[in-house]
Amino acid sequence: MFKGSLVAIITPFRNGTVDEKALGELIEWQIAEGSHGIVPCGTTGESATLSHDEHRRVIEFTIGAVNRRVPVIAGTGSNSTAEAVALTRHAKQAGADGALLITPYYNKPTQEGLYQHYKEIAASVDLPLMLYNIPGRTAVNMLPATVARLAHIPTIVSIKEGSGSIQQIDEVLQLCGDRLAVLSGDDAMTLPMMALGGQGAVSVVANVAPRESAALITAAAKGDFAQARTMHRRLLPLVNALFLETNPIPVKTALALMGKCGDELRLPLCAMQPATKAQLTDALRRHGLVT
């Protein structure tokens, strides 16, 4: 159900509040440039520092702005199962096409706890769900065997895999077959994942280069790996620059340098350091995104 280049869209701020004008313009640009879906309130959207009211509003605003032109997969994860259920229920009521659910962070559940967490959400809300595994952020790694168990639940249809291990990703692909769409959670690994059978990415780089991200994934999906490889290598310096500091600091800074929004972040995230900002600016310039 979920495939292609799905942008993990930033949440622009102005004077401490969500800048809905900038967000609306970013959404329009993403759709015009060919992104296949919009993912608000994920890691890149600074969901960790959005209030619950802001979180709900960003999802509602995004759904309204997109107006069914592409799928909206709302970030609704939490380290509290009850809170994740509530956020997912709201996303369904607001009209989201699906929900992205990060593995519970900080409290480090067991594999059985992870299974029960997602099973409870699926039982509570009838909405297509995308699992999100990123142990570098959460301190818990959802193992392929657990993913395979969850893939038997009909509304669990996809996973954003950010473990960083091609071996683990391939094991997920082999265990789950056609029951689960596997998407990259790491732009540098999108092409190798698709070569193994992945179906796209929830992408950070698509924030600044949506047309190229979509074209790379489309080429790989068609089996044109020569073209996809060329595009991967062109995008890779930009991808690397977007992770010079903790995401989403560089990508929001990049969009500000491109004139798409302000560079306001919420503590504990802070402005890029001068040296890394200079490297980012150079990468954007070399890519033709700024002059």
**pLDDT confidence band for 3 (50 / 70 / 90):** very high
pLDDT (average), residues 37-52? 97
**For position 106, what pLDDT does the model report?**
94
Residues 149-182: tens digit of each pLDDT = 999 999 999 999 999 999 999 999 999 988 999 9
CA distance 230 to 117: 40
**For position 177, what pLDDT does the model report?**
87
Q: What percent of the chain has pLDDT over 90?
A: 99
**For position 11, what pLDDT does the model report?**
98
Domain ranges within the chain, ordered by starting residue:
4-221
pLDDT (average), residues 50-60? 98
pTM of the model: 0.95
pLDDT (average), residues 33-50? 97
**For position 78, what pLDDT does the model report?**
97
Give the list of residues 6+ apart from residue 53 with CB closer than 8 angstroms, or none: none
Residues 117-157: tens digit of each pLDDT = 999 999 999 999 999 999 999 999 999 999 999 999 999 99
DSSP 163: S
Contact 86, 124 (CB under 8 A): no
Fold of domain 4-221? TIM Barrel (3.20.20)
Asked whether the bond before 268 is cis by omega within 30 degrees of 0, the reply is yes
**For position 1, what pLDDT does the model report?**
73
Residues 187-202: tens digit of each pLDDT = 999 999 999 999 999 9
CA distance 222 to 127: 29
Residues 239-281: tens digit of each pLDDT = 999 999 999 999 999 999 999 999 999 999 999 999 999 999 9
CA distance 204 to 160: 12
Give the list of residues 6+ apart from residue 177 with CB closer than 8 angstroms, or none: none
**For position 149, what pLDDT does the model report?**
97
Catalytic residue positions? 132, 160
Give the mean pLDDT of the chain. 97
Q: Which amino acid is at 128?
A: P
